[in-house]
Structure 1
Amino acid sequence: MNRRKVKKKMVIIFSCIGALFIIAFASLFIISGIFEKPKYLNPWQKTYWQKFDDPRIQLAAHGLLASNGHNMQPWKIRLDKNNPGVFYLYADSELLTSQVDPAARQMMVTQGTFLEYVNIAGDELGYSVTIGLFPEGDYNEQKLSESMKTKPVAKVTLTKTNPKINPLYNFIFLPDTNRAEYLSTGLTSEQIKQLENTNADADLSIKIFQDKENMNKLNNYAMQGATIEADVDRIMKESENIFRANEYQKNKYRYGFSVEGQGTSGIMQHIMQGLVTVFPGMNSGKAASDTFVQSTRKSVNNTPAYALIVTEDNSRSSQVKSGMLYSRLILKAHQLGLVMQPLSQALEEYPEMKKPYSSIHHDYAPDGNTIQMLLRLGKPTEEVPQSMRRDVMDLIAQ
């Protein structure tokens, strides 16, 4: 009789534990926002641009999908009130990441990625796109943030023409960055040739490496840069401040980092979002630093090739042009069945990164040239989710 009572109590206990587990599991999904509609993904729809009548906004809706530093999407658009075929692109100084990018070089590269997506979309929508960089002169570097508000990066002029097929257009709607493992298969000589041919500017160059010696050197630079960055508290705090833990935050802000950027999707995405919301320490301090270094090591260990984008100088125009080239490179890579991920920490310009910055430039960009991007490159082992995007109307300055 006692055994029956004990057995009955055990059944009740395990049933309670099971019920608590189910409740806890369901709570994580609710906290994650599993029932929240992901409005931040709307701009990725191929018909999104059709919601707008103004061709300038239609093209900006394509530019919005471009690669950008830290997913800040720091673009502002001013529509010319007197000419319906003209708009101006400004760098949004309210979205500077001044700790990791104190010289705003990455910010300028990001302006270029936007412009090239606009240029490519123009073909498909039937507009010839003319881009004039810094039409009102260069920034005042001593008052950079204020200067960004008054001086445009580019004047964009649209001229109506016949639509034409651009072979890169459809790849605009794919995620620009893939942080997953890549196959060990190297690039073919034809793939390298086609990637290098995306550059038509004599002041810019693309360098692709997949030999053992250079792979080891660039692996070391990638790891050295990530390790240094992970140990700089103010840099990691800046990243923590733009991390969106759940669907509610992602819909509210629609820019910054999220668990998708770490390659998490599906059910695990919501489990992780719920856990990080309840236990924010999982994504801060030493835990965040360790995750960042481990993620970089995994990437480095599964990379068959690297690419560098190098400019002859480090002017603001060269930075923007390198971003335009980067967009073409991404889209051409997609067309070839390849993907990319920037591993550019060693190129950042804060004091703690001075040694690897100088060293990598000594090795790969002598004679005063500047490396604007360091990218891992290869054939993907898996697809990755799309990242947050703002509504294009949030970019339009009133």
Structure 2
Amino acid sequence: MKRKGMRKLMIITISSLLAVLFLGSLALFLAGGLLQPRHYMQPWDPNYAKRFSDPRIRLTAYGLLAANGHNMQPWTIRLDRSNPMVFYLYADPARMSPMADPDARQMMITQGTFLEYVRVAGQTIGHPVTIDLFPEGTYDEPHLKQSMAEKPVAKIIMSNANPQKNHLFDAIYIPDTNRTAYQSKPLTHVQVAAFERLKTSEVTTTVFTDQTNADTLGKIAHDSATIEAHTARVMDEAAAIFRANEYQKNQTRYGFSFEGQGTSGFRLYFMQGLITLFPFLNNSKASADLMIQSTRAALDHTPAYAMISSRKNDRLSQVKSGMIYSRLNLTASSLGLAVQPVSQALEEYPEMRAQYTLIHRKYAAQGQTIQMLVRVGTPTEQVPQSMRRDVMDLIRH
């Protein structure tokens, strides 16, 4: 009898523990938003842009998917009221990242990434575009925010033509950043040549595949990420735009999230639930440590780097560099490759000055500015798409 009673007690205890574990896990998944709709993913639907009858808004919806600094999506669009074939792109001064990007250089590169997606999409849907950069002149730098709000980055003029298949168009729907480890196999000569053809008279792309440069650039990228991780105001700026769960992502559809780190599936909801229920886990030290560890793991599995450089560092060159970067990103996807910007060494705040000087001394020709440093390789896994705003939020009224 005594033994039966002990066995019964043990069964009850185990059942109770399993019930607690089940309910605890369920609470985490629900807190992470397991059952909530993902409205912030709607712009990635291939039919999303087709909902809009105005082709200017359709093209804007494609541009919205472009790579952009800190996922701030800092674009606004003004539709020309007198000409239905014209619209204007403005940089949104309310979406600047002054701690990480004090000179708004990355902000202007992001304008270029948008424009190149628009160009590729325009050709594909039968509305090829002509892009006139800074049609009203460049910014008044001492009054940068006001000037951004007033002066367009680009005048976009559409025309009508037969749709032409652009081999880069399908790559628009592939996530623009893959932070996971890449395969060790080297890039082929064909792949390298495809990247190095991405250039203009002002902007060039260089690919480094040898071990010496891979080691040197990997160390620069790692050391720079470590500096950024220990620069409190930069990390605080990033933490302020971190969206911890589905509710936050639906309410504020820009900034950082676990998807950006490559997390998906049930693990995504589990991690979101943990941070939601126990927000103290998302402290600055934990974030810094995770950034350094993930950067090191990625850099240790990187067969090649690409570098985009410009002869000048004016606003025009920055935008054109962004256009080249979008072509690099789309080209990589079309070739079965993945990319991740590792450009912390190019940031212009004081703590990064030594790294900025180092990479330019080693890799920039006289007078050149390195605009982007990117790791390139064959991905070992696919990563989720990141949240995007509703396209109508970009339209000025």
Flag whether TM exceeds 0.5 (same fold). Answer: yes
Deviation at 1:8? 2.1
Aligned partners of 1:344, 1:115: CA distance in 2, in Å?
A: 21
Residue 143 of structure 2 corresponds to: 143
Say yes or no: does 1:292 pair with 2:291.
Answer: yes
Residue 376 of structure 1 corresponds to: 375
Aligned partners of 2:382, 2:182: CA distance in 1, in Å?
A: 11
Letter in 1 for 2:377: G
Aligned partners of 2:22, 2:191: CA distance in 1, in Å?
A: 50
Deviation at 1:335? 1.2
Letter in 2 for 1:245: A
Aligned partners of 2:205, 2:365: CA distance in 1, in Å?
A: 15
Aligned partners of 1:77, 1:322: CA distance in 2, in Å?
A: 21
Aligned partners of 1:205, 1:153: CA distance in 2, in Å?
A: 21
**RMSD across aligned C-alpha pairs, in angstroms?**
0.9
Residue 133 of structure 1 corresponds to: 133
**Are the counterparts in 2 of residues 205 and 310 from structure 1 also a CA contact under 8 Å?**
yes
Aligned partners of 1:283, 1:312: CA distance in 2, in Å?
A: 41
SS in 2 for 1:82: coil
Deviation at 1:322? 0.4
Aligned partners of 2:181, 2:44: CA distance in 1, in Å?
A: 24
Aligned partners of 1:293, 1:321: CA distance in 2, in Å?
A: 31
Aligned partners of 2:5, 2:91: CA distance in 1, in Å?
A: 72
Aligned partners of 1:60, 1:293: CA distance in 2, in Å?
A: 35
1:163-202 Cα shifts (integer Å, max 9, x gaps):
1111111111111111111000111111111111132x11
Residue 70 of structure 2 corresponds to: 70
Aligned partners of 1:156, 1:281: CA distance in 2, in Å?
A: 46
Residue 15 of structure 2 corresponds to: 15
Residue 363 of structure 1 corresponds to: 362
Deviation at 1:311? 0.3
Deviation at 1:128? 2.2
Say yes or no: does 1:266 pair with 2:283.
Answer: no
Residue 354 of structure 1 corresponds to: 353
**Are the counterparts in 2 of residues 254 and 389 from structure 1 also a CA contact under 8 Å?**
yes
Letter in 1 for 2:279: P
Residue 325 of structure 2 corresponds to: 326
Alignment of 1:22-171 (within 5 A): 22-171=22-171
SS in 1 for 2:236: helix
Letter in 1 for 2:248: Q
Aligned partners of 2:158, 2:134: CA distance in 1, in Å?
A: 17
Letter in 2 for 1:184: S
1:325-368 Cα shifts (integer Å, max 9, x gaps):
00011111111111100000111010000000011001111312
Deviates more, 1:208-217 or 1:288-297: 208-217
Letter in 2 for 1:282: L
**Are the counterparts in 1 of residues 198 and 204 from structure 2 also a CA contact under 8 Å?**
no
Say yes or no: does 1:191 pair with 2:191.
Answer: yes
Deviation at 1:2? 3.0
**Are the counterparts in 2 of residues 237 and 284 from structure 1 also a CA contact under 8 Å?**
no
1:234-274 Cα shifts (integer Å, max 9, x gaps):
11111111011111111111111111111111111110110
Alignment of 1:226-265 (within 5 A): 226-265=225-264
SS in 2 for 1:213: helix
1:369-397 Cα shifts (integer Å, max 9, x gaps):
10100000001111110100111000001
Letter in 2 for 1:118: V
Deviation at 1:282? 2.5
Letter in 2 for 1:138: T
Residue 342 of structure 1 corresponds to: 341
Q: Which runs of 5+ in 1 are unaligned?
A: none
Alignment of 1:206-217 (within 5 A): 206-217=205-216
Letter in 2 for 1:114: F
Letter in 2 for 1:198: L
Deviation at 1:48? 0.7
SS in 2 for 1:160: coil
Deviation at 1:4? 2.8
Aligned partners of 2:283, 2:75: CA distance in 1, in Å?
A: 28
- Alignment coverage as a number of residue pairs: 397
SS in 2 for 1:256: coil
Deviation at 1:5? 2.5
Aligned partners of 2:282, 2:109: CA distance in 1, in Å?
A: 27
Aligned partners of 2:108, 2:222: CA distance in 1, in Å?
A: 25
Aligned partners of 2:383, 2:16: CA distance in 1, in Å?
A: 38
Letter in 2 for 1:162: N
Say yes or no: does 1:385 pair with 2:394.
Answer: no
SS in 1 for 2:128: strand
Deviation at 1:210? 1.3
Aligned partners of 1:4, 1:46: CA distance in 2, in Å?
A: 62
**Are the counterparts in 2 of residues 281 and 287 from structure 1 also a CA contact under 8 Å?**
no
Question: Taking every aligned residue pair, what percent have the same amino acid on both sides?
Answer: 54
SS in 2 for 1:183: coil
**Are the counterparts in 2 of residues 282 and 288 from structure 1 also a CA contact under 8 Å?**
no
Residue 282 of structure 1 corresponds to: 281
Aligned partners of 2:233, 2:375: CA distance in 1, in Å?
A: 26
Deviation at 1:285? 1.1
Aligned partners of 2:380, 2:237: CA distance in 1, in Å?
A: 31
**Are the counterparts in 1 of residues 32 and 272 from structure 2 also a CA contact under 8 Å?**
yes
TM-score for both structures, normalised by structure 1: 0.98
1:131-154 Cα shifts (integer Å, max 9, x gaps):
111111111111111111111111
